[in-house]
Chains A and B, each alone.
Chain A
Amino acid sequence: MEIVHVYTKKRNEFGRQCNFSDRPAELHVDILPDPSLASNFIERDPCDIPIQCTQEMSEHEVNTERFESDTRGINHVEGGWPKDVNPQEMEQTIRFRKKVEKDEHYFSTIMQLGSNMEHCIKQNNAINIYQEYFEEEEVVEESEEQPSAKTINVFRDPNEIKRTATCLSWHPDGSCKLAVAYSSLGFQNISPDMSYDSYIWDIENPNKPEMTLKPVSLLVCLEYNPKDSHILVGGSYNGQIAYWDTRKGSQPVEMSTIEHSHRDPVYKVIWLQSKTGTDTFSASTDGQVLWWDIRKMSEPTERLVLDPNKKGNLDNALGAISLELDYHFVPTKFMVGTEQGLVVSCNRKAKTPAEKIVCTYSGHHGPIYALQRNPFFPKNFLTVADWTARIWSEDIKESSIMWTKYHMAYLSDGCWSPVRPSVFFTVKMDGTLDVWDFLFKQNDPTLSLKVCDEALYSLRVQDNGRFLACGSQLGTATLLEISPGLCTLQRNEKALATAMFERETKREKILEARHREMRLKERSRSEQSKDEDTKEGDGEESVEELATRTEAEFYEIVEAELKKRAKEQEKKVRRD
């Protein structure tokens, strides 16, 4: 049953819609100003209203509860003695002790404790229960950290006109100082305002150099004497060699005479291992390698002209850019890297000048900016030139045994790591530093770091292998620290590196032998063909013929290409 209530209401009683109508404005109230009221007020002029548009901040103070600490000590005094016994008196204490010892309980206790104790003592004496049993099996945790390098300090050239930092040398003891040679290697790029100074920096203080060296002309290279850490020798842009003693001040102690020096900038100067510790030799692009004794700088002690024809002809000579000594084995053999891309191996003690040049290694397209023997494997050396870095073996003269790919930027310097035989560093003209570990990866650098925006010109690793400094075009020397993974000798590294070098050397030897065979065959074949038909006189084309032939070929190719393009254009037009 539904309960329904019907509710009715007339439609016109619901609620009428609102009908709006316009009405003119009506004034309801009008209050006129009353000037008499103004006397109740005083005018305020000026009105200061501060406005602030800042972040709202609040200040809170917190202080920890003071912790009071105190120092206490304990003094052990004999105690526990019963009241009737005076601990100071020997007789009384002895008497007490004797009394205790007579106790029955004491007897049984001691017997029992004694046997326990003896068991443990014997146990101790039998074996060392706490010895390390599994010491050998402790696997050295190879930290899987990414190789990295971070910049520690940056030393900028304090002069306004920036010069390139062309050479860096670490202080021999402790390596807390870095000597940087500044010069400008661009052709005729030296402005009269350019300062000639080079600096010695303390690596902790990048704000101000520790010492200034004032040469007569810009220094291109600078080396600390490994035997005497106060002496530095520098080669300058005008070809002179000078040496400084840091105890004696900024001026060079002695300079070589202009007539007997080099005629081109001295690119590299190295100290020799001699008894007196005063011998150096220098190399320059004028084609000479000169030996000097710094005590007598008026004349070089010896001279070698790098003439590939071994005639001592200075006009033919190759310009030398880098030098390397064979420290460990033979102190008389050294190598020179030249502008022309050849590495020349020389022997100082050869009897005739012709024999001084032993052999050459070719393979680079440009000047060899760095040349260094591997500190662990002196038979292998690294050269850095043009767009590649190459590793050579002394025995293989035709080509390098390992090389990097051709980079986009020119490589300007490189060196081996003094602690790891398979790691070397290179710097490029685009400001990047590459760390190569050829046991880990051969195609690419293990670590590539952009040090600065301008080109990097020089690089030097410290003897502990941890720090390295690189110098840039604007005179900024950056000090970097390498991650420990890259500067600790890994297990088996020496063995693996030896194996790799041997393998590559063998490969190159085989290739060399093959090439020689092929060449012999060619020669014998061309000789045969010469005998057979003497009509064809041109066994070898002359240079001009070769040139015209290549020119003709070139134009042919260009024309063919143009024709092809024209055809394609036609096709396109036809399609549309």
Chain B
Amino acid sequence: MAEVEETLKRIQTHKGVIGTIVVNAEGIPIRTTLDNSTTVQYTGLLHQLTMKARSTVRDIDPQNDLAFLRIRSKKHEIMVAPDKEYLLIVIQNPSE
């Protein structure tokens, strides 16, 4: 339990990390460091996107599965680590 906390805190304190969100399979944000409205927006959109990405990968090769999803935009990078039940979302400002 404490390790979970420690892990999440360590992630949050990395250089450039703006926010961290843990989402469950139903789209409920379990842990978040951002404000509520932003969290809700991110979870809603990224959840759908991750599902789509995963289904794309599996359509091409059924043995394959989505390991990681990185979206780099002009302002920052959104990283999604998917799992069967949970999603870990981190928004980082990459070193420029």
Bound together: yes
Contact A110 B4 (CB under 8 A): yes
Contact among B1, B31, B85 with A105 in the assembled complex (CB-CB below 8 Å): B85
CA distance A80 to B22 in the complex (A): 14
**Partner of B11 from A80, A114, A130 at Cβ < 8 Å:** A114
- Contact flags (1/0) for B80-96 with A, using CB distance below 8 Å? 01010110101010111
> How many residues of A are counted as interface, with CB atoms below 8 angstroms from the partner's CB atoms?
33
Q: Is the CB of A125 within 8 A of B95?
A: yes
Q: How many A-B residue pairs have CB under 8 A?
A: 94
- Give A80 to B79 CA distance when docked, in angstroms: 22
User: Nearest B residue to A115 by beta-carbon distance?
Assistant: B7
Considering only CB atoms, which chain A residue lies closest to B37 in the complex?
Answer: A76
Q: Which residues of B contact A126 (CB under 8 A)?
A: 95
Q: Is B83 a contact of A109 with CB atoms below 8 Å?
A: yes
B19 is an interface residue with CB less than 8 A from chain A: no
A112 within 8 A of B: yes
Chain B proximity mask over A393-409: 1 for CB below 8 Å, otherwise 0 = 00000000000000000
Is there an interface contact between A111 and B94, defined as CB atoms closer than 8 Å?
no
A76 touches B41 (CB 8 A): yes
Q: Which residues does chain B contribute within 8 Å of A102, judged by CB atoms? A: 1
Query: Closest B-chain residue to A127, C-beta based?
Result: B95
Residues of A within 8 A of B16 (CB): 121, 124-125
Q: A111-B4, A116-B68, A128-B95 are in contact. Are A121 and B90 (CB under 8 A)?
A: yes
A548 to B34, CA, bound (A): 109
Asked if B75 CB lies within 8 Å of chain A CBs, one says no
Inter-chain contact B28/A110, CB cutoff 8 Å? no
Q: Chain A: which residue is nearest B72 at the CB level?
A: A130
Rounded to whole angstroms, the CA-CA distance of A82 and B7 in the bound complex is 27
Tell whether A125 pairs with B68 under 8 Å between CB atoms, given A102-B1, A118-B10: no
Selected contact of B14 from candidates A78, A81, A105, A122, CB within 8 Å:
A122
> Which B residues between 1 and 36 are near A, CB-CB below 8 angstroms?
1, 3-4, 7-8, 10-11, 14-17, 22, 24, 26-28, 30-31
Decide if A561 is an interface residue (CB 8 Å cutoff).
no
What's the least CB distance linking B92 to chain A, in Å?
6
In the complex, what residues of A have CB within 8 A of residue B27's CB? 79-80
Q: A109-B85, A113-B83, A116-B68 are in contact. Are A124 and B92 (CB under 8 A)?
A: yes
- In the complex, chain A residues whose CB is within 8 Å of the CB of B53: none
Which A48-106 residues have a C-beta within 8 angstroms of B? 76-82, 96-97, 100-102, 105-106
- Count the B residues whose beta carbon is within 8 Å of the partner chain — how many? 38
> B58 at the A/B interface (Cβ < 8 Å)?
no
| A12: min CB distance to chain B, Å | 96
Partner of A121, one of B14, B24, B40: B14
A120 on the interface (CB 8 Å rule)? Answer: yes
Residue of A77, A102, A117, A128 with most partner-chain B CB within 10 A: A117
Smallest beta-carbon distance A113→chain B, Å: 4
| Least Cβ–Cβ distance between B13 and chain A, in angstroms | 10
B52 within 8 A of A: no
Q: Which residues of A contact B45 (CB under 8 A)?
A: 76
Q: In this assembly, does A107 line the interface, its C-beta being within 8 Å of a C-beta of chain B?
A: yes
What distance in Å separates the Cβ of B40 from its nearest Cβ neighbour in chain A? 5
Determine which of A78, A101, A105 lies in contact with B40 in the assembled complex, contact meaning CB atoms within 8 Å: A78
A121 touches B92 (CB 8 A): yes
Q: How far is the CB of A481 from chain B (nearest CB, A)?
A: 36
Q: Is the CB of B26 within 8 A of A117?
A: no
Alpha-carbon separation in the docked complex, A102 to B81 (Å): 20
CB distance from A259 to the nearest CB of B (A): 73
Tell me if A109 and B44 are in contact (CB < 8 A): no
Q: With A100-B30, A111-B4, A124-B92 in contact, is A118–B83 under 8 Å at CB?
A: no
Residues of B within 8 Å of A109, CB to CB, are 83, 85-86
A82 to B24, CA, bound (A): 12
Given contacts A79-B27, A102-B1, contact A113 B94 (CB under 8 A): no
Shortest Cβ distance from residue B5 to the other chain A in the assembled complex, whole angstroms: 9
15 extra interface residue pairs, beta carbon distance < 8 Å, beyond A114-B81, A120-B79, A122-B14: A76-B40, A76-B45, A78-B40, A80-B28, A97-B30, A102-B1, A110-B4, A111-B7, A114-B10, A117-B11, A121-B11, A124-B16, A124-B77, A125-B14, A130-B72
**Which of B's residues lie within 8 Å of A, judged by CB?**
1, 3-4, 7-8, 10-11, 14-17, 22, 24, 26-28, 30-31, 40-41, 44-45, 67-68, 70, 72, 77, 79, 81, 83, 85-86, 88, 90, 92, 94-96
A contact residues vs B (CB 8 Å cutoff): 76-82, 96-97, 100-102, 105-107, 109-114, 116-118, 120-122, 124-128, 130
For the complex of A and B, the 8 pairs showing the least CB-CB separation, nearest first, are A80-B26, A113-B81, A80-B27, A114-B7, A113-B88, A124-B94, A76-B44, A121-B14
27 contacts between A and B (CB under 8 A): A76-B41, A79-B27, A80-B27, A80-B28, A97-B30, A101-B4, A102-B1, A106-B86, A109-B85, A109-B86, A110-B4, A110-B8, A110-B22, A110-B86, A111-B4, A112-B83, A113-B81, A114-B7, A114-B10, A114-B88, A117-B79, A117-B81, A120-B70, A121-B16, A121-B90, A124-B95, A126-B95
